[in-house]
């Protein structure tokens, strides 16, 4: 074909990419501020905010500073936060008994946030790993050393009721025990918390991407220099069908929303679930996803804003309705400034 000749084509898809305005008009997926949930770490040590070394730009806040941060997020349009406690090691034991203290850190933090910002949706983790000295998400069987499913579920029910009593709007069981959604729903209803929603960590994988989070809450230290093996309760990364079964069981047991964690490495699971459920889907862009982008950007290997926005769009495009992300605040700031991911 002569270089001067034009192809005769009935469809030229580049016509939809010809300018920034056209590309914006036909964009299929966008990140909006209403898509974002901001995870926050709270501690009760003296002094100001503590930087999480493995998560640049992320801090552990006192309760007072957490409330201040929640006000900033609310002013930016973010309507939900997920609160994770960093418990002093001296308050941990093998049974995670501090979790049942109605005046512990997480309950005091929730009460303070809801008093200051009643309309802000506060999400609490229902798991024992912040409180156990061994770092596992449940109570250990003395004979086998494995997490005891049914004993753990009984304690999770107590945690969920205490969290609802403190003012949590959504309780989020993250432990991956069998049957815990149904048991928690029954416990909440019996206690009169029929309006408290369950955001179930329905497809939570035994992932290597959780390291910085464990650093942030202090459960990493329980395992010494290596990460705990949680493979008997968290999902095998190679199993997609099993993940779908777990999630659909949570739906049948009364979950109001389903979560996939981590989000980025498991976009196929989000897509498969989107095709099988009408419930809202949540993707958790976990600490390791956040930190690897930060680290690569600091080394000059990636453009942080572009890869940040692309990673979030991928989660939304796969089918997630909501995204937990440590980028929530800066995304909200960009949106307020008129920049759309």
Known catalytic residues are 204, 261
Q: Which domain holds residue 83?
A: 31-336
Does residue 119 lie within any of the structural domains?
Answer: yes
CATH number at residue 285: 3.20.20.70
Q: Give the pLDDT confidence of 245-292 residue by residue, as tens digits.
A: 999 999 999 999 999 999 999 999 999 999 999 999 999 999 999 999
Q: Give the pLDDT confidence of 61-81 residue by residue, as tens digits.
A: 999 999 999 999 999 999 999
Does residue 216 lie within any of the structural domains?
Answer: yes
Does residue 91 lie within any of the structural domains?
Answer: yes
For the chain, report the end-to-end CA distance as a whole number of angstroms: 40
Name, in order, each residue with C-beta under 8 angstroms of 1's C-beta and a sequence gap of 6 or more: 7
Does residue 7 lie within any of the structural domains?
Answer: no
Does residue 8 lie within any of the structural domains?
Answer: no
Average predicted confidence (pLDDT) for the chain: 94
Q: Give the pLDDT confidence of 98-112 residue by residue, as tens digits.
A: 999 999 999 999 999
pLDDT greater at residue 226 or residue 303: 303
Highest average pLDDT, of 2-6, 141-145, 256-260, comes from 256-260
- For the chain, what is the domain count? 1
Produce one character per residue of 31-40: b if its CB has 16 or more CB atoms within 10 Å, e if not: bebebbbbbb
Q: What is the pTM of this model?
A: 0.94
Q: Give the pLDDT confidence of 221-233 residue by residue, as tens digits.
A: 443 445 678 999 9
Where residue 4 falls among pLDDT bands split at 50, 70, 90? low
What element of type H or E holds 164?
Answer: helix 149-166
Does residue 3 lie within any of the structural domains?
Answer: no
Angle (deg, nearest 10), helices 328-336 and 304-318: 100
Specify the pairing of strand 257-261 against strand 197-204.
parallel
């Amino acid at each position: 074909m002569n270089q001067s000749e034009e192809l005769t084509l009935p469809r030229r898809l580049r016509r939809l990419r010809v300018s920034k305005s056209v590309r914006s008009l036909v964009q299929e997926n966008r990140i909006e501020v209403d898509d974002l949930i901001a995870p926050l770490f709270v501690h009760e040590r003296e002094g100001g905010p503590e930087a999480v070394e493995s998560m640049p730009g992320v801090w552990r806040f006192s309760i007072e500073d957490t409330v201040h941060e929640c006000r900033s997020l609310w002013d930016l349009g973010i309507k939900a936060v997920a609160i994770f406690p960093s418990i002093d090691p001296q308050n941990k034991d093998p049974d995670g008994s501090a979790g049942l203290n109605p005046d512990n850190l997480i309950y005091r933090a929730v009460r303070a946030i809801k008093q200051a910002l009643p309309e802000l949706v506060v999400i609490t983790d229902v798991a024992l790993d912040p409180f156990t000295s061994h770092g596992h998400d449940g109570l250990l069987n003395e004979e086998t050393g494995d997490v005891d499913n049914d004993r753990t579920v009984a304690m999770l029910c107590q945690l969920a009721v205490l969290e609802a009593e403190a003012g949590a709007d959504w309780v989020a069981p993250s432990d991956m025990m069998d049957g815990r959604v149904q048991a928690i729903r029954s416990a909440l209803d019996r206690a009169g918390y029929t309006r408290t929603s369950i955001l179930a960590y329905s497809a939570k994988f035994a992932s290597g991407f959780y390291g910085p989070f464990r650093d942030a809450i202090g459960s990493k230290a329980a395992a010494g220099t290596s990460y705990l093996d949680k493979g008997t309760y968290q999902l095998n990364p190679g199993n997609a069908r099993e993940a779908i079964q777990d999630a659909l069981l949570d739906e049948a047991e009364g979950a109001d929303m389903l979560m996939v964690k981590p989000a980025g490495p498991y976009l196929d699971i989000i897509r498969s679930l989107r095709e099988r459920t009408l419930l809202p889907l949540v993707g958790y862009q976990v600490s390791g996803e956040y930190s690897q982008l930060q680290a690569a950007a600091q080394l000059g290997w990636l453009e942080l804003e572009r890869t940040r926005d692309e990673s979030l769009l991928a989660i939304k495009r796969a089918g997630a309705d909501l995204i937990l992300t440590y980028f929530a605040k800066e995304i909200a700031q960009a949106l307020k400034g008129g920049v759309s991911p």
